[in-house]
Structure 1
């Protein structure tokens, strides 16, 4: 059954709005079996949440800004980076925190309405944490592709015209 679970997870990752009957047909299972698999994976917290992917650029009424912040920290004895990562991800502005290899230790994704709002978060909340040594903030100017989804399709035909 593990193969069917993996197959189901791949389908849901591509489009979590697929109805049970469609998923069942795609997987060659009954609707009851498919529903049971989903419930099992939800109970095991393999499926954590269903979300919608929004292209905020198409919503001119709502200002939306994303920043990626590289954070250098001093890890704590016994807990490593986990304790400081937990402090950071508890802020509502923070959408993601990743432990990274390379120059910086953590990568923090923050969302806000303005650059000033994000800057205030960095200067008043993030930078003041005991373990934080330094931060570098990068503002997202335009999102082309996210989670495998291309946001703006260029429908122009770019093929060279050939005439006899």
Structure 2
């Protein structure tokens, strides 16, 4: 059921269901673990309506998954994150989409973005070693016919990711103070 109201200023129709969906997305983008009951109370909406809106957005591929942000630096597990700039020649009648599909279908690829600027794609890998990243670039990525060149960058330290500060605020700079 769609609900509409009219703005007093302009007489414009406002879709209340759309507004509720946008509010839901804003909340769960920051906290995907929030309980439906809590979310409904926070939004001042009916619990069933909120649950149905979320289910609809999952079916429509608006909500594509629920992920956990992990600070791997605070674990004993080593991870190497590589950002790879990829320059390609677009394919006739298909542009960049077919090339992107070929790249993002590799299991090693965490993310693939079409970019503006000096290169065409940013490909993100998260592997155990730099050697695994090098192996992927040399044996899989660079062998694609449309790929002209690659440039690989490694993340040395994450300070903030997806809006979350990852470094402890009580980390004091232990370097010796030098004065002239």
Under a length normalisation based on structure 2, what TM-score does the superposition of the two structures give?
Answer: 0.84
**Equivalent residue in structure 1 for 2:132, among 109, 117, 120:** 117
1:7-156 aligned within 5 A:
7-60=23-76, 62-155=77-170
Distance in 1 between the 2:132 and 2:59 partners? 37
Distance in 1 between the 2:61 and 2:139 partners? 34
The offset of 1:156, in angstroms, is 6.5
Output the aligned Cα RMSD.
1.2
The offset of 1:33, in angstroms, is 1.3
Distance in 1 between the 2:100 and 2:40 partners? 39
Unaligned runs of 5+ in 2: 1-16, 173-180
Distance in 1 between the 2:78 and 2:107 partners? 17
The offset of 1:31, in angstroms, is 1.2
Higher gyration radius (CA):
2
The offset of 1:30, in angstroms, is 1.7
Moved over 2 A (4+): none
Unaligned runs of 5+ in 1: 158-164
